[in-house]
Structures are given as C-alpha cells and as structure tokens.
Amino acid sequence: MGPSALMIFIGRTLTSPTPVQFVSLAIDPAGEIVAAGTADPFNVYVWNLQNSRLLDILSGHAGPVCSLAFNPLRGTLASASWDGTVKLLDLYKRETEPESIQHSSDVVCLAFRPDGKAICTGTIGGLLSFWNVEDCSLICEIDGRRDIAGGRKMNDRMTSDNNASSRYFTSVCYSADGSCVLAGGNSKYVCIYEVSQQILLKKFQISFNRSLDGVLDELNSKNLGEGGPLDDMNESGDEADFSSFIPGAKRGDDGSRKSRVEVMSLQVAFSSTGREWATVSNEGLHVYSLDDDATFDPVALDEAVTPGAVQSNLLRGDYGKALRMSLYLNEYALVKQVIEETPYQSISHVVRSVGTRNLERLLQYVAKSMSDSPHVEFYLQWCLELLQNHGPELEKNKGSYMRAFRAMHNMVQTRYDEVEGMCAENRYAMDFVEDQAKLNL
C-alpha cells in the first residue's frame, strides 16, 4: 500500500495527517468504516468512507499492526501486532479500554468466525489459537509447524524434515459455517483444519515450480559444499559469482543482493458456499473447487451474444433464444429479466429449448430469483417444467446437479413455509369473510 494514502475504488482517497506506511486494511460489514494499520508509528487509522474524514487514530501497540478484522455482527475491531497482542475495541463504545489478548510470540494474522463469537490468531511460532470474544479466554490451539513445514531453501542448513522454525501462517480465514479454517503462509502448503477436533483435514501444495525457492525438499548435492550452496543462481559467463571458490573461504559474499523468489501464500479465502477456496501466491491466483464444472467455458459466446441482442430477442418474442444468450453472458440481472418477461404459457417451450450445458446454471438462477420475488406461482411453474422436461438428465447425472437442485429445493421449501405461515395467520380472518358472505346471501 501507499506510504500515506489509501485509494478506494469508489473514487475516494483516504489520507493520514503524517506520512506513514500502511501494512493492513479492514472494512466494516456495513461498508461505512475503513481501518488501516501502520508499520511505524504503531497506530490504527479509522476513516468514515462516506465523507473520507479521519475519525480516530488508535494507539496502544508496541509493534507494527500487521492484521485487522471487523466483527461480522458488531462494531468490534480486532488488531494484531508484532508485539504479541491482539486488541479488541468497539468503535461505537469508546468509554472502555480495549480488551487485550496476550500471545507468547508475534501475531501475524487473525480472522473472526462468521458468527462473531470466536477469533482465530496465528503467530510466528506456527500456532493457530482460538479465543472466545466475550471473555478473551483460550478455546483451543492447533500446532501447525509440522503441517506447514516442507521445502528446503537454498540457504537452509537443515533438511526440510528438520527445519520448521521459519514456517508459519501469515493468512487465515474461516469457512462459511465456522467449522473449518484455511491457513497459508511462507510455505508451499495451504492447510485446512477442523476446529472442534483440532485435526488437519487436508493440505495442498500450491506450486511445483522448481525455479522457486522452497519447492524442492532435497537440494542437488553437487551444488552443496562445506559452507553451503556453491551456485544458487546457476549463472555462467562473465556474471558468474566466483567468490565462494576463493581458497580458504567457507561462505560467499555477504554483500550479495541476489536471491531467488520464495514460494509462499500471501492471502487465503473461502467462498460463501464453502465449496471453493482461493489463495494468492507468487505465481498468481489459485482457485480450488469441489465441483468439476467450475471452469470458464466460453462456448457459443461470440460477438453476436450481447445484452442488446438479448433485449432484441425479447422484443421479438423469441424467449428461448434470449434465455440461452443471457445464460452464456452469465449476468444475473439479465437472466432474471428474461425469466420474468417470459409468458406463463411459454415456460414449457422455453425450458425444453435449454440444453444440458446450461441446465445447472438455469437451476441456480431460478432458485436465486425466487428468493426475493413475489411471483411464487410463476417460479413454481418454472421449477415444475424443469423437473418434468429434464428429470431423466437430472437423475442420470445427479452428482453434477446436486448443488443446484438442493438450492432450488431449499428455496421452494422456504417459500412454502412462508405461504403456510401467512395462511395460518389469516385463517380466522378468512373464516370471518366467508361467514359474512353467507349472511349477505
């Protein structure tokens, strides 16, 4: 981040009174408050995003504030620092001193559980600690040093099996249900833990690029000498470094500025469904999914498939073609418009025109559109036609369609419960209206 200013994509610039280096950032769930931690001085700056005003400068840490997080349900801000503490402060109730959680080593990352009742912190000792937010008591700890260990760097004097001192988590996040945590750091591995049982579910190697430092578990013995690696850059010609071959010298030039890029995870995050997660490394963005169909498939997407073409087909009454084109564009607002502008009597014909390639996506969109629509019967007809026309395909490949089918089933059940509750509340009113009608007759 910039030395003394934050650039927000809505077109606002948030500045500090004096030049500082920001190293951490957090935005509250309501999108109104922005907080940023600095490396020196060790403060947290708080702005109002609506008017870009600096609201407060929070002090109290004795080291760089390397991580910030807002409670998902309340206005509590958690700040982690290299001084080994995590401070919890309610920004809307400043009359009390912030709660402080002490750790045995520097804290480098933290994350709130989705329900806001617990917080996970990571230290340079490789520990993941879980704390109760209400009383700041320790719930449990997970020692991840052995899990994240692996890969020998060029300058390591120990093998990867025995060198876990420099491996720790620098980013952590909870799954949507709060049962698991995803953690990554300065290692080639990203780990997923189950919190209640404190067990490692799985770990992933994010890179197999042998040119990155820390990918190989064993170094080539021909490049190792008594004082360490002889030629860590595999250079040749006039630019080669011959300092390590000087008679009597057991180490190279201490002033050398040459190094290799180290493999590491800079940030990890779960998706809202819990079926995908992503990490950012030196090589880019890596996305992992439980579903085999989570790929970009631009088949039938050409220059003729545009939002304008969808609108033209709607005006001509070609609802099937308009729906297929909107599904190719994969824009929710456009798909919802086509679904709701399709006449009730044409739903069956439109559903039959949809192929298996777009079936799963259409199921998802129908379920999502039904969640906030007052046209319950209209969307129930869509669900019925989808099941009647594509039932054999759904049964044959139920594994591929299970997620979309469950989403649609849950939404139908939710709307059924809402209608049932409404009818139960109006039962006596309906009976009264019926009795009055009989009296008038």
The predicted structure's pLDDT at residue 294? 46
The predicted structure's pLDDT at residue 119? 95
Q: Which two tokens stand for residue 187?
A: 């290692």
Per the DSSP assignment, residues forming a β-bridge with 171 are 184
For the chain, the straight-line distance linking the first and the last C-alpha, in angstroms and rounded, comes to 78
Name residue, tokens 């009296």. Answer: 439
Contact 173, 185 (CB under 8 A): no
The predicted structure's pLDDT at residue 441? 62
| Position 263 confidence tier, pLDDT thresholds 50, 70, 90 | confident
Strand order in the sheet with 276-281: 265-270, 276-281, 284-289
Q: Given phi > 0 = left and psi -120 to 50 = alpha, else beta, which region is 85?
A: beta
Kindly state the percentage of the chain with pLDDT values over 90: 34
The predicted structure's pLDDT at residue 241? 47
The predicted structure's pLDDT at residue 209? 84
Q: What is the rounded distance in angstroms from the CA atom of residue 15 to the CA atom of residue 19?
A: 9
Averaged pLDDT for residues 171-195: 91
The per-residue pLDDT for range 79-94, each reduced to its tens digit, is 999 999 999 988 877 6
> Cα-atom radius of gyration of the chain, to the nearest Å?
29
Start-end of H helices in 231-331: 307-316, 319-329
DSSP letters spanning 1-62: --SSEEEETTTEEEE-SS---EEEEEE-TTS-EEEEEESSS--EEEEETTTTEEEEEE---S
Evaluate if residue 277 carries a pLDDT over 80.
yes
CA 136 to chain centre: 26
CA 215 to chain centre: 25
Contact 167, 217 (CB under 8 A): no
Kindly state the percentage of the chain with pLDDT values over 70: 80
Least confident of 105-109, 146-150, 192-196, 293-297: 293-297
Give 437 or 195, the one with higher predicted confidence: 195
Contact 131, 101 (CB under 8 A): yes
The per-residue pLDDT for range 32-49, each reduced to its tens digit, is 899 999 998 899 999 988
Averaged pLDDT for residues 422-432: 84
Q: Which two tokens stand for residue 107?
A: 């804290």
- The secondary structure of residue 355, as a DSSP letter, is -
Least confident of 163-177, 289-303, 337-351: 289-303
Least confident of 80-89, 120-129, 193-202, 235-244: 235-244
For 28, other C-beta atoms within 10 Å of its C-beta total 19
The predicted structure's pLDDT at residue 356? 84
Classify 173 as helix, strand or coil: strand
The predicted structure's pLDDT at residue 13? 83
Give 158 or 91, the one with higher predicted confidence: 91
Averaged pLDDT for residues 53-73: 91
Evaluate if residue 160 carries a pLDDT over 60.
no
The predicted structure's pLDDT at residue 261? 79
The per-residue pLDDT for range 356-410, each reduced to its tens digit, is 888 888 998 999 999 888 899 999 999 999 999 998 888 888 878 888 888 899 8
The per-residue pLDDT for range 279-314, each reduced to its tens digit, is 998 888 888 887 654 444 455 556 678 888 899 999
The per-residue pLDDT for range 315-335, each reduced to its tens digit, is 999 999 899 888 888 888 899
Average confidence score pLDDT of the chain? 82
The two counts, helices (H) then strands (E), for the chain are: 9, 23
Evaluate if residue 243 carries a pLDDT over 50.
no
